[in-house]
């Protein structure tokens, strides 16, 4: 009897290890399958949503510069630009009513794609360190895109990547 309990425990432990390490969220698989489209849509943009999804931060990167926009969801479920920080193309952002409409349309398109793929947030804030894009899912899983791992010099990032499931040369998956 003791032997049966021990063997059953070992079997359950082994199955958890094997299947736990090979698991990939269905939305992460879908993003990976559509990775060219996702990269085209989100490289050089960070979109971070508050827990209630009433506040959204949009960062648009150009080289080492960043334009940051804060949005609040209004009464009619429409977004309103509440604050901005402009580092480049300042002349384009002089008239808040014009660029606000453009940005809101842009943001809504991106958020619709994120919702279709169950993506909570997208971040490109570490791109200067070699991590081109991090995709956070509502399930708390994370997908990373790294265009060239040789560019990564930070030991912590290299150690972090080694602990992730490598999907191909450029994509990594973290199960939470």
Q: Where are the domains of the chain?
A: 24-174
Q: What per-residue string of b and e applies to 2-27 under the rule 16 or more CB within 10 Å gives b?
A: eeeeeeeeeeeeeeeeeeeeeeebeb
Cα distances (angstroms) measured from residue 168 to each of 105, 144, 147: 33, 11, 11
Two structure tokens written together for 21: 């390490």
Burial (0-12, 13-18, 19+ Cβ within 10 Å), 134: buried
| pLDDT tens digits in sequence order for the chain, 176 residues long | 555 554 544 444 433 433 444 457 899 999 999 999 999 999 999 999 998 879 999 999 998 999 999 999 988 888 999 999 999 988 877 777 678 888 999 999 999 999 999 999 999 999 999 999 999 999 999 999 999 999 999 999 999 999 999 999 999 999 88
- Global pTM? 0.82
| 93 close to 84: Cβ distance less than 8 angstroms | yes
């Amino acid at each position: 009897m003791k032997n049966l309990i021990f063997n059953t425990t070992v079997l359950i432990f082994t199955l958890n290890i094997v299947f736990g390490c090979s698991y990939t969220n269905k939305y992460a698989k879908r993003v990976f399958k559509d990775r060219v489209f996702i990269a085209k849509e989100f490289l050089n943009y960070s979109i971070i949503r508050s827990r209630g999804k009433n506040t959204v931060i949009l960062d648009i990167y150009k080289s080492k510069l960043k334009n940051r926009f804060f949005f609040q969801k209004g009464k009619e479920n429409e977004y309103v630009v509440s604050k901005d920080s402009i580092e480049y193309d300042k002349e384009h952002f002089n008239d808040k009513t014009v660029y606000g409409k453009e940005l809101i349309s842009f943001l809504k398109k991106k958020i619709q794609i994120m919702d279709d793929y169950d993506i909570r947030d997208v971040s490109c804030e570490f791109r200067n360190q070699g991590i081109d894009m991090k995709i956070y899912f509502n399930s708390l899983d994370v997908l990373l895109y790294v265009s060239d791992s040789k560019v990564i010099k930070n030991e912590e990032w290299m150690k972090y990547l080694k602990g992730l499931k490598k999907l191909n040369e450029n994509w990594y998956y973290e199960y939470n």
